[in-house]
Amino acid sequence: MRVLAINDISCVGKCSLTVALPIISASGVTCDILPTAILSTHTGGFTGYTFRDLSEDIPAILEHWKSLGLKYDIIISGYLGSIEQVDMVRAIRRDFLKEGGLMIVDPVMGDNGKLYVHFDAAFVEKMKELCRDADVIVPNVTEARALCGHDLSAADGDCPALLRELGALCPRPSVTGCDEREGDKTMCAVYYTRKDGTTARFATEKIEGSFHGAGDVYASALVGCLARGVGMDDAVRIAATFTADSIRQTALDKTEARYGLNSESRMYAYLQALDKAAQKA
């Protein structure tokens, strides 16, 4: 099983490839990487970071890979370094995804009701093209709202409605980070679509605060599970539980949110859950 993770390298801040590579590899499958940009830190909560867009390097990397005859069972794309990279990723899907392989798009563009710096309405429009090519998309609520043309900061959290709207873009959409009241508790839910088109929800108790890199941990663990043949229900449950455990650990450690999730010490529990589900799959 061979996975390709397309994402940036933020040297510090635990997101993108520094999260995807360890989690997907530890899940027990080969994870090759295509870096879209190299930054000294990610862009959320730091100033003065360096940003080298790698768009110019990608064509030669792909030519070399073609000469090796590389093909992938799963391709996951995340943060892109330029709008031009959307078409590059679409071409990568055409040239490198195996027949019957899975294209997963994390349309990384924003969070907490705002687009990240370097993203604008034109990028959102272009990202829709990539989502149309995907089998599975994993936007957070802000990205889902952007893809559906809604006001980003609107307080209403009607994730089932967003999920239905995203169905026009992609056959198996999901929406993560849906805050919902359940009695006296606040829950953080993910809504998702199964292969047969039915929809489902999985929720964990919300831990107050905003935690950078949670979407990357979730998407990477989801890919790890799917790559091991685990079905979507178990994959979502295991990935969301690992993410919630990592957030809880980060809150306990009281490390700064911008330095990312402390998922390292939660990895063993994640792998145990994955192994158990993979055995029955």
Look at strands 136-137 and 97-105 and give their pairing: parallel
Q: Which residue, 10 or 193, is less far from ligand PXL as judged by CB?
A: 10
For 218, the token pair is 């979730």
Given 108, 178, 188, 236, the residue binding ligand PXL (CB under 6 A)? 108
Q: In this chain, which stretch among 20-28, 40-48, 237-245, 261-269 interacts with ligand PXL, using CB under 6 A? A: 40-48
Asked if residue 8 binds ligand PXL (CB under 6 A), the reply is yes
Q: Which residue, 134 or 219, is less far from ligand PXL as judged by CB?
A: 219
Buried b (16+ CB within 10 A) or exposed e, 163-189: bebbeebbebbbbbbbeeeeeeeebbb
How far from each other are the two terminal CA atoms of the chain, in whole angstroms?
A: 15
Given 3, 10, 53, 228, the residue binding ligand PXL (CB under 6 A)? 10
For ligand PXL, how many residues bind (rule: CB under 6 A)? 14
Given 18, 43, 174, 262, the residue binding ligand PXL (CB under 6 A)? 43
C-alpha–C-alpha distance, residues 139 and 143, integer Å: 5
Query: Torsions phi, psi of 50, nearest 5?
Result: -90, 155
Query: Cβ 53 to ligand PXL, closest distance in Å?
Result: 11
Query: Cβ 185 to ligand PXL, closest distance in Å?
Result: 26
Return the sign of the alpha-carbon dihedral for residues 93, 94, 95, 101: positive
Query: Cβ 205 to ligand PXL, closest distance in Å?
Result: 22
Asked if residue 15 binds ligand PXL (CB under 6 A), the reply is yes
Query: Cβ 63 to ligand PXL, closest distance in Å?
Result: 26
Q: Which residue, 127 or 230, is less far from ligand PXL as judged by CB?
A: 127
Given 34, 35, 44, 266, the residue binding ligand PXL (CB under 6 A)? 44
Q: Which residue, 8 or 245, is less far from ligand PXL as judged by CB?
A: 8
C-alpha–C-alpha distance, residues 36 and 40, integer Å: 14
Q: In this chain, which stretch among 9-17, 87-95, 128-136, 153-161 interacts with ligand PXL, using CB under 6 A? A: 9-17
Distances (CA, A) of 152 to 2, 102, 113, 138, 206: 36, 29, 5, 17, 21
